[in-house]
DNA sequence: TTTCATGTAACTTAAAATATTACATGAAAG
DNA sequence: CTTTCATGTAATATTTTAAGTTACATGAAA
């Protein structure tokens, strides 16, 4: 969504973003409210209002966005009980926990290395290769 | 559940396993049916029947169990669309996909290194340290 | 032939994610 | 200043998914 906003100059309304993303404007506003709290976007009410990027694409990584979205859990797998009394379960949690932590750390470290600018460059390259205009 | 079964000699009924896991016997049977298909457990009907481990703990890894459970998705994050027409989304999917793949590969490779035997050893060590009998 | 256990389909319930409605707030246009 | 347009947000509804339950068939031992 941020990359789409980057292609448009001037503010973009949640309604038009909702059109692009095939969802409801309120869903867009809820998401962007989180991003605004982290200073990634900026919003204006009223006539001519809407949403605008607040940062240079070069300075925003997928990790920043992940944080702004509330650091949602990255793994679909997890412990059955967080602090089990059962000693079997404790052993399992301990072993699996290390694997989970390693996987999550790797994913987030990759996210830290992906900037919106690099994604934007990739997008523009794709634009060149196929004749397809519009995004 | 398999580790609990390892502590008991003789077959264990889905009802008693359901008691341990605080769930319904049918849920247990459904899960164990998958494990049986991979040869991890063995079941017997009728009087004195129940479930039994079919393999040595040393030869079973968390990865084997993961496969037997149907290789459920490991990540909570994913692509919005698998094969999007939108070029922005293609660029995003491409970059995130590499990160996803790396994280999943790492997690599964860790799973391959965790045997039930190692978990069982850890469990028995925990038994020693605290005075708590029973599992 | 009774009892007990698995095997499985069909159904129900519960939880979570997602979407919608409704209305308040604020800013620009006329 | 009042109409229009857009965000802000609470409350509600819908959808999807996972988990649990019921019901009954199958098969084995007592």
Which tens digit of pLDDT belongs to each residue from B16-44?
Answer: 999 999 999 999 999 999 999 999 999 99
- Measure the CA–CA gap between B74 and B62, rounded to whole angstroms: 13
Q: Is residue A112 within 8 angstroms of chain B, CB to CB?
A: no
Phi, psi of B72 (to 5 degrees): -65, 150
Task: Please report, rounded to whole angstroms, the spatial distance between the CA atom of protein residue A133 and the C1' atom of nucleotide C20.
Answer: 33
pLDDT tens column, B61-85:
999 999 999 899 999 999 988 888 8
- Burial-class residue A57 by CB neighbours within 10 Å (0-12, 13-18, 19+): middle
Residues B62, A110: Cα–Cα separation, whole Å: 25
Give ∠ CA A32-A38-A39 in degrees, rounded to 5: 85
ipTM (interface predicted TM): 0.88
Strand partners, B62: none
Interchain contact A83–B (C-beta under 8 A): no
pLDDT digits (tens, 9 = 90+) for B100-134: 999 999 999 999 999 999 999 999 999 988 765 55
A3-29 burial code (b ≥16 CB/10 A, e <16): bbbbeeeebbbbebbbeebeeeeeebb
φ, ψ (nearest 5 deg) of residue B44: -135, 140
Among B87, B95, B120, select the one facing A127 at the smallest CB separation: B87
Taking the Cβ of residue B57 and every Cβ of chain A, the question of whether any pair is shorter than 8 Å is answered with no
Spanning CA of B27 to C1' of D25, the rounded length in angstroms is 18
Which CATH architecture is the domain A2-129 placed in? Answer: Orthogonal Bundle (1.10)
Per-domain residue ranges of chain A: 2-129
> Residues of B from 37 to 76 whose C-beta is within 7 A of strand D: which are they?
44-49
Residue B92 has pLDDT above 80, yes or no: yes
């Amino acid at each position: 969504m941020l990359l789409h906003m980057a292609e448009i100059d001037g503010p973009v309304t949640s309604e038009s973003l909702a059109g692009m993303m095939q969802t409801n404007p309120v869903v867009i506003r809820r998401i962007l409210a989180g991003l605004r709290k982290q200073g990634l976007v900026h919003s204006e009410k009223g006539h001519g209002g809407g949403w605008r990027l607040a940062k240079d694409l070069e300075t925003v990584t997928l990790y920043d966005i992940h944080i702004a979205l509330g650091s949602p859990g990255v793994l679909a797998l997890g412990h059955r009980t967080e602090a089990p009394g059962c000693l079997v379960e404790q052993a399992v949690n301990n072993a699996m926990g290390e694997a989970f932590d390693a996987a999550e750390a790797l994913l987030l470290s990759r996210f830290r290395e992906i900037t919106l600018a690099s994604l934007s460059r990739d997008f523009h390259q794709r634009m060149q290769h196929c004749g397809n205009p519009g995004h």
